[in-house]
Structure 1
């Protein structure tokens, strides 16, 4: 058995929340200078209203939600949502605007953002900039739901307690009172759950998810974002078939896609897909087409691939992954995790009269409503796995391999590094139990094969060959061989590229001689 020091841990690519101190961790909000100035200013606005408009109800201001959570966890947050107890956000925004002008500050117009339930905005919001910082104003609210919709049927003014209990999670139901400069925890669970690293709903999770099943996905996203555990009651509720059906019936595919994309872009995508798998939600979220050929693979494959990918990217120095493979951009990493998440769909096809095609485009465009280009790239990454694996497992390379390697990279295009990584993690898949246990010798051997292949590609100066243009263009070929433009010109241009790959130091004149000899009997059709 491996020692604890050899155990592979799947670390975050961002600094994770440190739960080791548990309840000993301090839960204090420390304002920046700019935040303190803003709170002071908003306090003056309410004092001015009280002095000059005594007929108005007393106004209390609280910073709500994510800002409070993040500040208590030691993160900075730029999203400032100000909750108002006795008037709408637009009404209070006008008072802010007038006070800014009264004091001679730059005052931007108040922008009214209409309610948009599909984007989880159930009340109109007012937004403006104060001292250059964007601030949203919204009133405290209470909500009621009907059976067949996740959109509240009735939204009214509420107390801080009512507003807190209608929120998705206890850790998102905290307030920072601008006047007292203290954190308020109406559910009496938010601060405890932050200390313990727990995702929990303020009310019974079954009723919470029945009202708004999108909150199931938000539980997963926040648990993976902060590396928190999920309350056992949530896990039980989610496995209820009525909740799964509610996700499909009430939550738009666009909203599902938005949440999944945020999980993928977050610090712990592998944890997100693990939770999706453990909650038996894979088919619900990554819904396959209605009619398909083959059998959807076990969703656990997506979990294992994502964890192997996380290990490769986050411990690249320790596992000796080639720097050109480990140095991926955030967009590259997004593509790779998306491909890992969708790997179980590799084994099914959508029937078609001409040619069956993969289900990746369907899942990405229909089940998740992501960009069509995401489907194109995912499909491309998977389509070259077998070829890349075959090349990586060749023991000997000859000079003629420059052409075959170059053509492979040209076929893949700019995504070739990502395609190599996906092929690598797929080849490492049978080794996942060993990787998880810290038994790494065989995995290192597989990684080294891909490292050598990348070194060879760089030594042969092929890493950017997908950008190379034919040294002889179409018009020049037509003139050289006395041909008319047509399909044959394209075929000859492919031969030009092949010659260039085989003769990296060759001149244009030498290529022309090669083409004249090879195609001397070709005539225009």
Structure 2
């Protein structure tokens, strides 16, 4: 019985409260304890509600009617099948606007041409026509044609069957296949079903797609190693869908995903853009921590978040586990704080900032001998994300140390011996009572809209760069304390009127400064005074431009007399 109470306490913790299925999880593990196996991972009690038939929206009916009208107009025998995720989501009762249509007797571009001509005959105009070529070297084996109908993008591809040479995983022969052959080439059984538009029926041609969906299993139609070597990106898709739906990864699938052959293929065959896109979908999804936990469990962390191999890097011990722990703590804290404080983009980058926090100080030298943060490499080379993402996260990491020194004063709203490192002479003539606002204002002007992200990461690291033990960060009472610190500091910043301080323009221009200093051109002196005047402006939020200039004149005269 004591085990049951301990278990209940655990599932009521903040770590488990973020999972909407915590009651089900509690019952599953309780059942396993009663059977003498507390580490049981299977979910015998999990039954997913799957609809008996697919209900079309009004817009979907119009789209499918137009496509069937094209078939009739040209007297085609073509069978139109919606494939993959749309079928899965509709069976789960979810709306989906990602419609991929598989054709049994022609290429997608050919059919799109016929749809375009048919629409023209009715006085309608096709929109957004495009053809995306195949790229076998990157495991993209099919040409895809795309068009927009009723403001929904639709992709068209042909059904396929593939043959491989003994020593290659790139198809050396690809023909039109049957719907069943195509279904077995899909990534997962839950994504292998079709909706036949011609017959208005669901087709589960491998015979277990619906069953696996109903029992919450992530399984490949063919042997998992064969499936993953065909397209190694499917490993990450299995992870993403397993996390998204809280489904169980098949044990054979996990062994195949962790094999060296599959890891090597993922690193060699798949473009970094495609890997980055999958990771972004995980981080932006409903279970980002579970997804990264799967990546760690399958020993894929350093394949996905690859580092420059030509440089010797000293990483923290068990760095991948530490990265996951910080991300887990950040996600838990985000759930406690609520969705109003951060936008979706801020939430996404806060999770990245937490994930990469353990190697925030690690750098490598580029070809020119310049030290580059590893975080920059991971974003721009490993994941091929936007440079601005790397700059934001690096900026957040840089702000953490300074913000940590300010938190005690912002939290308690008292003055004290503030850490003025890196401020130069800007604070020399600033009253002690104003220094907290000035230091905080300078910091927020650097991180701008992402100051709450910097605060979130700082709160995780508070009261030291390591903070309490990593495991302790996930405890309910510890997270509640950190939530209180976050909210106290956030409120203090708002009370100081600094929420959008980076949008406040300087009262004094560079030209004004040059006139007072009697300079003909700018230089270090002008830059120094710009910082001092900004400090004055932060210390005197109600001050005017004339008052600011007068303060500068008086301060400048005092300096001259002292020299």
Q: TM-score, normalised by structure 1?
A: 0.87
Give yes or no for the alignment of 1:349 onto 2:349: no
The structure-2 alpha-carbon separation of the partners of 1:522 and 1:356, relative to structure 1 and needing over 3 Å to count, comes to farther
- Tell me the residue number matched to 2:394: 379
Equivalent residue for 1:397, pick from 399, 414, 432: 414
Q: Which moved more, 1:392-401 or 1:482-491?
A: 392-401
CA drift at 1:480: 1.9
Equivalent residue for 1:307, pick from 320, 328, 339: 328
Does structure 1 conserve the Cα–Cα contact (< 8 Å) formed by 2:159 and 2:178? yes
Partners of 1:457 and 1:131 lie apart in 2 by 47
Give yes or no for the alignment of 1:430 onto 2:468: yes
Give me the CA root mean square deviation: 3.0
- Tell me the residue number matched to 1:122: 141
SS at structure 2 position matched to 1:83: strand
Does structure 2 conserve the Cα–Cα contact (< 8 Å) formed by 1:107 and 1:130? no
Does structure 1 conserve the Cα–Cα contact (< 8 Å) formed by 2:49 and 2:92? no
- Tell me the residue number matched to 1:479: 515
Map 1:500-515 to 2 at 5 A. Answer: 500-515=537-552
SS at structure 2 position matched to 1:430: coil
Query: Deviations along 1:108-141, whole A, 9 cap, x unmatched?
Result: 2764443344776422233334455443332211
- Tell me the residue number matched to 2:430: none
Q: Which segments of 5 or more consecutive residues in structure 2 lack a partner in the other structure? A: 1-5, 26-42, 416-432
The structure-2 alpha-carbon separation of the partners of 1:200 and 1:379, relative to structure 1 and needing over 3 Å to count, comes to same
- Tell me the residue number matched to 2:314: 294
Map 1:243-322 to 2 at 5 A. Answer: 243-290=262-309, 291-297=311-317, 298-316=319-337
Query: Deviations along 1:311-344, whole A, 9 cap, x unmatched?
Result: 2222325xxxxx8xx5211111121122223234
Map 1:441-480 to 2 at 5 A. Answer: 441-480=477-516
Partners of 1:512 and 1:13 lie apart in 2 by 58
- Tell me the residue number matched to 1:496: 533
CA drift at 1:457: 1.6
- Tell me the residue number matched to 2:154: 135
Partners of 2:61 and 2:162 lie apart in 1 by 32
- Tell me the residue number matched to 1:28: 53
Partners of 1:113 and 1:413 lie apart in 2 by 38
Q: TM-score, normalised by structure 2?
A: 0.82
The structure-2 alpha-carbon separation of the partners of 1:75 and 1:432, relative to structure 1 and needing over 3 Å to count, comes to farther
- Tell me the residue number matched to 1:320: none
- Tell me the residue number matched to 2:444: 409
Query: Deviations along 1:37-76, whole A, 9 cap, x unmatched?
Result: 43344344434444xxxxx6x3222111111111111111
Does structure 2 conserve the Cα–Cα contact (< 8 Å) formed by 1:114 and 1:123? yes
Partners of 1:293 and 1:85 lie apart in 2 by 52
Q: Which segments of 5 or more consecutive residues in structure 1 lack a partner in the other structure? A: 51-55, 318-322
Give yes or no for the alignment of 1:364 onto 2:379: yes
Does structure 1 conserve the Cα–Cα contact (< 8 Å) formed by 2:48 and 2:216? no
SS at structure 2 position matched to 1:263: helix
How many equivalent pairs are there? Answer: 505
- Tell me the residue number matched to 2:32: none
CA drift at 1:7: 2.5
Query: Deviations along 1:256-295, whole A, 9 cap, x unmatched?
Result: 1121122222222111111111111111111112214422
The structure-2 alpha-carbon separation of the partners of 1:125 and 1:256, relative to structure 1 and needing over 3 Å to count, comes to closer
SS at structure 2 position matched to 1:370: coil
CA drift at 1:361: 0.9
Partners of 1:476 and 1:448 lie apart in 2 by 44
- Tell me the residue number matched to 1:333: 347
Partners of 1:112 and 1:59 lie apart in 2 by 20
Q: Which of structures 1 and 2 has the larger relative contact order (alpha carbons within 8 angstroms, sep 6+)?
A: 1
Partners of 1:442 and 1:214 lie apart in 2 by 38
SS at structure 1 position matched to 2:94: coil
Partners of 1:229 and 1:213 lie apart in 2 by 20
